[in-house]
Chain A
């Protein structure tokens, strides 16, 4: 069975600090997909990134970066120079079937990120 663990329930930092959100996953498949979503107070989940299991390249998008390490089954998310608008709940998710096929997405419990001004 697949499982996603986000051990950090809540993180609070001061604006402009860097922050890393941890994600550890479990799967028996060799082909799988990992995702990060952001959920602001409005409730709508916002897609941030998808990573395929066969592509371990790290990715950077502006202030966001992702570190995928198959050896430790981790897919961590770093926000550089955090801003108040980054405050939200962040979810890591896993799919074993074409990135959202028959099994859907398995989500972690989320990390509530609070950026203080």
Chain B
């Protein structure tokens, strides 16, 4: 196990609703990245948070937003949910300051939008 935890495990939402997913990073890691993995596809980079600021973003619309807290845990918020948002959402922690560039992933949150 990596020490990265995510909650909830599963979630069912209705189109148009908003959702918040949570991630606790591995001890000693200060960087959190979020990915979306559609069924049968590789993970797609959403954004990364480093020292509580968004540090980079993939090709996702502004309704995907996030936060990082002083303890380095993070939230992913998705507004105005669409059916295509149904996916496994993965968070990964790493430690850029220590030169530990490997990203360690949590178990993911399975989001279903109906």
Partner-B contacts on A (CB < 8 A): 4, 33, 35, 37, 42-47, 50, 91, 93, 95, 97-110
Instruction: Specify the chain B residue showing the minimal Cβ separation from A45.
Output: B105
Q: A98-B96, A109-B41 are in contact. Are A104 and B33 (CB under 8 A)?
A: yes
Q: A50-B101, A98-B96 are in contact. Are A103 and B43 (CB under 8 A)?
A: no
Q: Is the interface of A mostly helix, strand, loop or mixed?
A: loop
**A-B pairs with the 8 shortest C-beta distances?**
A99-B101, A102-B56, A104-B45, A107-B42, A45-B105, A44-B107, A100-B103, A109-B42
Within 8 A of A (CB), among B83-114: 88, 90, 92, 94, 96, 101-108, 110
Q: How many residues of B contact A (CB 8 A)?
A: 30
What is the CA–CA distance of A100 and B98 in the complex, to the nearest angstrom?
Answer: 13
Could you say which residues of chain A place their CB within 8 Å of the CB of B92?
45, 100
Instruction: Specify the chain B residue showing the minimal Cβ separation from A35.
Output: B102
Q: Is B72 an interface residue when CB atoms closer than 8 A count as contact? A: no
Partner of B90, one of A45, A47, A98, A101: A45
Partner of A107, one of B43, B56, B108, B110: B43
Q: A44-B108, A98-B96 are in contact. Are A104 and B102 (CB under 8 A)?
A: no
